[in-house]
């Protein structure tokens, strides 16, 4: 695994370019973040591989027992297109460390880097048959994994809709263990005492990073009434200055959406937002950059209500829903009024407020005065319809392990 990580580091440019070609992701980000941090994920779990152990149990006076943590078996990883490299290693690294064999099915939009990683795994000396990449479409290749009788676990990241299908197929076949990391509609709550510039920057990055194609995007921003006007002015200024264009250009901050389907879906949501009566502050249109590419303007809607489609559904694009609130209780209630529970952000200098809100929100990750702060040791996953099970951290390692109890008579066998 260490050698695999080194090989990734030696091929950063090429790997980043593959993800940019496939997904329209920023080449600069791939090079600086996605690819090197994935090599680090491999190293983190490589370090854990020889620290997997069970417990000695007291059991009773007659028996001595201990637990063994064994590999769960063959794992199927089904991953999405928005972070082809990060997702690949979030799934593969802990499963390798746990001693599993696996099949990875990358999203049909983004198979290139996964195939390259299969090649690097071979060069690194990972034995044939341990890490297998099968490209293909969801309803065929993906479905075959979910219903296979010899696959012991499936780890899925994607839409809530497909998550249901995965779970159903697992239940109807061999009851394989399922973990699901699904959609999100994450709230960012900005309180009156926040620094305006910092809060506006967080709100902006929270929705525009990776062109909004990120499951933890802060797609709902709640701003307290005392800071609202200043914050919105700053946010709109920043959104207007945001540079959209060729993802290989180092000056560009937002590339094209992944494909035509996603592009059209985002524009349809923008039309819904206009029709439902939200106020369009900026953006709202496709960007015709030389007539090529599925670019969408950074788009901000204000006066968004929780029952509007743009506040309820995961858009997966650069579309922000803003709303004003008065009290902390109102903010908590509105932030929680979603079927999702993946992440949330809080901007305040008041520790009491930060502590109260972070314990009141039903979401798997809470960021206080920051956003998108991930770490290999930080478990990541959802509450509610954002799924269950955790990627990252030692929790992810245990997802790929079985626990066996072994019992021995202490003295004479009673039988």
Which range touches ligand ADP (CB under 6 A), out of 36-44, 157-165, 274-282, 297-305?
157-165
For the chain, the maximum distance between any two Cα atoms, rounded to a whole number of angstroms, is 84
146 touches ligand ADP (CB under 6 A):
yes
Using CB under 6 A, count the residues that bind ligand ADP: 17
Residue 136 C-beta: closest distance to ligand ADP, Å:
7
* Residue 138 near ligand ADP by CB under 6 A: yes
Q: Does position 80 bind ligand ADP by CB under 6 A?
A: yes
Closer to ligand ADP by Cβ: residue 103 or 143: 143
Instruction: Based on the shown chain and the rule CB under 6 A, indicate whether residue 159 belongs to the binding site for ligand ADP.
Output: yes
41-56: string of b/e by CB count within 10 Å (b at 16+)?
Answer: bbbbbbebeeebebee
Part of the chain binding ligand ADP (CB under 6 A), chosen from 34-42, 101-109, 300-308, 335-343: 101-109
Question: Which one among 84, 142, 341, 382 touches ligand ADP, defined by CB under 6 A?
Answer: 142
Q: Using CB under 6 A, pick the residue from 108, 193, 306, 313 that binds ligand ADP.
A: 108
143 binds ligand ADP (CB under 6 A): yes
Q: In b/e form, how buried is each residue of 314-342, taking b as 16+ CB within 10 angstroms?
A: bbbbbbbbbbbbeebeebbebbbebebbb
Interaction between residue 166 and ligand ADP (CB under 6 A): yes
Using CB under 6 A as the binding rule, whether residue 105 contacts ligand ADP is answered as yes
Taking the mean position of all CA atoms in its chain, how far away is CA 387?
11
165 binds ligand ADP (CB under 6 A): yes
Residue 162 lies near ligand ADP (rule: CB under 6 A): yes
Q: Are 203 and 371 in contact (CB under 8 A)?
A: no
Distance CA 83, CA 255 (A): 14
- Is 317 an interacting residue with respect to ligand ADP (CB under 6 A)? no
Cβ closest to ligand ADP, residue 132 vs residue 159: 159
Q: Which of 107, 236, 244, 300 binds ligand ADP (CB under 6 A)?
A: 107
Active site residue 276: no
Pick between residue 104 and residue 278 the one whose CB is nearest to ligand ADP.
104
* Stretch of 7-15, 39-47, 60-68, 135-143 contacting ligand ADP, by CB under 6 A: 135-143
Please pick, from the candidates 158, 187, 284, 318, the single residue that binds ligand ADP as defined by CB under 6 A: 158
Residue (47 or 139) nearer to ligand ADP, CB: 139
The residue among 238, 243, 412, 212 whose CA lies nearest residue 316 is 212
CA atoms of 302 and 283, how far apart (whole Å):
12
C-beta separation of 410 from 65 below 8 A = no
Name the catalytic one among 181, 213, 297, 314.
181
- Taking the C-alpha atoms of residue 257 and residue 244, their distance in angstroms, rounded to an integer, is 11
**Active-site amino acid positions:** 181
| Contact residues: ligand ADP, CB under 6 A | 78-80, 105, 107-108, 137-139, 142-143, 146, 158-159, 162, 165-166
């Amino acid at each position: 695994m260490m050698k695999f990580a080194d090989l990734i580091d030696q091929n950063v440019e090429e790997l980043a370019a593959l993800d940019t070609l496939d997904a329209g992701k920023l080449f600069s980000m791939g090079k600086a973040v996605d690819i090197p941090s994935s090599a680090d994920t491999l190293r983190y779990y490589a370090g854990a591989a020889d620290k997997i152990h069970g417990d000695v149990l007291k059991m009773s006076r007659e028996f001595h027992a201990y637990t063994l943590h064994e590999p769960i078996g063959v794992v199927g990883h089904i991953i999405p297109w928005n972070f082809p490299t990060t997702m690949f290693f979030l799934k593969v690294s802990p499963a390798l460390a746990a001693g599993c064999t696996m099949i990875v099915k990358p999203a049909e939009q983004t198979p290139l880097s996964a195939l390259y990683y299969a090649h690097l795994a071979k060069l690194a000396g990972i034995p044939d048959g341990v890490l297998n990449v099968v490209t293909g479409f969801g309803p065929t290749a993906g479905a075959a994994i979910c219903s296979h009788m010899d696959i012991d676990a499936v780890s899925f990241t994607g839409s809530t809709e497909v998550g249901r299908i995965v779970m159903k197929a697992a239940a109807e076949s061999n009851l394989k263990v399922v973990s699901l990391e699904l959609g999100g509609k994450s709230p960012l709550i900005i309180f009156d005492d926040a620094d305006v510039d910092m809060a506006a920057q967080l709100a902006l990055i929270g929705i525009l990073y990776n062109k909004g194609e990120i499951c933890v995007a802060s797609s709902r921003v709640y701003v307290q009434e005392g800071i609202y006007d200043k914050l919105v002015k700053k946010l709109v200024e920043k959104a207007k200055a945001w540079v959209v264009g060729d993802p290989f250009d180092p000056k560009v901050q937002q590339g094209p959406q992944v494909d035509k389907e996603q592009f059209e879906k985002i524009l349809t949501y923008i039309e819904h937002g206009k029709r439902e009566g939200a106020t369009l502050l900026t953006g709202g249109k496709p960007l015709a950059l030389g007539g090529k590419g599925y670019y969408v303007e950074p788009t901000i809607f204000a006066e968004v209500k929780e029952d509007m489609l743009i506040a309820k559904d995961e858009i997966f694009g650069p579309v922000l829903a803003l709303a004003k609130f008065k009290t902390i209780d109102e903010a908590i209630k509105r932030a929680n009024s979603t079927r999702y529970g993946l992440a949330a952000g809080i901007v305040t200098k008041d520790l009491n407020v930060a502590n109260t809100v972070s314990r009141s929100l039903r979401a798997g990750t809470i960021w206080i005065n920051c956003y998108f702060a991930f770490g290999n040791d930080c478990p990541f996953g959802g509450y509610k319809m954002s799924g269950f099970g955790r990627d990252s951290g030692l929790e992810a390692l245990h997802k790929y392990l079985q626990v066996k109890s072994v019992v021995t008579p202490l003295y004479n066998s009673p039988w």
